Amino acid sequence: MKRYGKFPKINSSEITSESNYLNRRTLIKRAGAAIIPCQFLTKNPVSASSLDLSYSRAIDSGQGFYTSETKTPLEDVKKYCNFYEFGTGKTDPEKHSHSLTVDPWSLDVQGEVRSPGTLHLEDILSSFELEERIYRLRCVEAWSMVIPWIGFPLSKLLARFEPKSSAKYVEFRTLYRPSEMPGTRSLFGSIDWPYREGLRIDEAMHPLSLMAIGLYGKTLPNQNGAPIRLVVPWKYGFKSIKSIVSIRLVRSRPSTTWEKIAPDEYGFYANVNPEVSHPRWSQRTERRLPNSLFNPRRINTKLFNGYTEQVASLYTGMDLRKYF
Ligand code: MTE
């Protein structure tokens, strides 16, 4: 990843107390779920505090949903982030993302589906059973973490909108709201906002592809992609797009943010692969966070980030060097 100049300071935002937020959520949950076609709620914006979620615990069923590796402490997950909308420094997202309004929030699903529509955050929270997944996250920059996410399979979300057989790829977009995202206001940046990502439809329907709404048992911290993000554990972290507002099922391969900036460095597939070096560094090893000079915690990187058993069949016959 590259650096893109300096970022201006932002104003502080209004904070609603946790109990107010929780009461509202409880009422909303009782009201039940619905897909509301293409319209937006206009409620008073509130900032989310971390809320407890109820979910089923990750179990070691052999599907890759659980790892017994030591989890990265919550404090490190929250403070060492990549979220360029809030700046390019690792601690910028923690410093600046409190300004992000995550409620109300709408997720629009369009394209090659029989029932296009918009889900509001409250629909999402009341529609899908939440489960924990303890996944490794391997960044293309050669650091990694182990994170207990809370969420639900992307396949369940897509099924609600009834994909057509013409849907070959899925495109995701992050919110683009410069007034709350200082990183997008930089005059020197070369990112064409909004941040975009994409998956092949079979990758999107794979049971490991997760829509996360929480981590460590609570709602997502803003800097980690609140209120809803993607987590694709066998791919480099940049595929795991944060704060998603739009999903489109499409016929041809979508253009994605990092591939557009540097196609020779960041491929569309971005499957974790120690055999395929980044042009500027090796991908053979990774720093498992938190680490330090005296405790480097350097470990070998595994093909598909250790999820080979689960995902290798998606790529049978493909040249992984060419389609990196
Ligand atoms: N999503 C958006 N919208 N903007 C970003 O800059 N960075 C990506 C990914 N999702 C990014 C994003 C990268 S490079 C990584 S490694 C992961 O988020 C990091 O997730 P984390 O900060 O929650 O660990």
User: Around Cβ 5, how many Cβ atoms within 10 Å?
Assistant: 12
In which element (H, E) is residue 309 found? Answer: helix 308-311
Tell which wins on pLDDT, 7 or 220: 220
Q: Does residue 87 have its Cβ closer than 6 Å to ligand 1?
A: no
- 6 assigned to some structural domain: no
Ligand 1 and 84: CB distance under 6 A: yes
Span 57-78, pLDDT tens digits:
999 999 999 999 999 999 999 9
Q: Which pLDDT score is estimated for 49?
A: 72
Q: Is residue 323 assigned to a domain?
A: no
In this structure, the residue with its CA closest to atom 9 of ligand 1 is 238
Q: Which pLDDT band, with edges at 50, 70 and 90, does 1 fall under?
A: low
What digits encode the pLDDT tens for the residues 75-115?
999 999 999 999 999 999 999 999 999 999 999 999 999 99
Task: Check pocket membership of 184 for ligand 1, CB cut-off 6 A.
Answer: no
- What separation in Å is there between the alpha carbon of 83 and the centre of ligand 1? 5
- The answer to whether the CB of 224 falls within 8 A of the CB of 242 is yes
Measured from the CB, is residue 81 less than 6 Å from ligand 1?
yes
**Is the pLDDT reported for residue 24 higher than 70?**
no
The domain that holds 266 is classified in CATH as 3.90.420.10
* Tens-digit pLDDT profile for residues 157-192: 999 999 999 999 999 999 999 999 999 998 888 899
pTM of the entire predicted model: 0.88
- Whether 143 lines ligand 1, by a CB cut-off of 6 Å, is no
Domain count, the chain: 1
d(CA 323, CA 271): 9
The 8-class DSSP code of residue 274 comes to T
* Whether 184 contacts 178, CB under 8 Å: yes
237 Cα to the center of ligand 1, angstroms: 6
For residue 215, give the amino acid letter.
Answer: L
Examine residue 7 and state whether it is found in any structural domain, yes or no. no
Q: Which helix (H) or strand (E) holds 261?
A: helix 257-261
Give bridge partners of residue 196 from the DSSP assignment. 173
- DSSP codes, 119-177: EEHHHHHHHS--EEEEEEEE-TTSEEEEEEEEEEEHHHHHHHT-B-TT--EEEEEE---
- What is the tens place of the pLDDT at every residue in 223-248? 999 999 999 999 999 999 999 999 99
Task: Check if 236 has its Cβ closer than 6 Å to any atom of ligand 1.
Answer: no
- Expressed in angstroms and rounded, the spacing between residue 206 Cα and the centre of ligand 1 is 21
- Residue among 210, 240, 259, 288 to mutate when testing ligand 1 (max atoms within 8 A of CB): 240
Whether the predicted pLDDT of 21 surpasses 60:
no
Query: How far away, in angstroms, is 240 Cα from ligand 1 center?
Result: 6
- The residue segments making up the domain with residue 67 are 14-315
Indicate whether 6 pLDDT > 90.
Answer: no
- 274 CB contacts (<8 Å, ≥6 apart)? 283, 284, 285, 300, 301, 302, 303
Report the 10 Å Cβ neighbour count for 99: 18
Q: Is 149 in the pocket of ligand 1 (CB under 6 A)?
A: no
Query: Domain for residue 87, yes or no?
Result: yes
pLDDT of 52 > 90? The answer is yes
Assigned domain for 321 exists: no
Domain contains 191:
yes
- Does the CB atom of residue 120 touch ligand 1 within 6 A? no
Distance in Å, CA 31 to ligand 1 centroid: 33
Residue 123 falls inside a structural domain: yes
Cβ contact 299:288 at 8 Å: yes
Question: Which string of b and e fits 105-140 if b means at least 16 CB within 10 Å?
Answer: bbbbbbbbbeebbbbbbbbbbbbbeebbbbbbbbbb
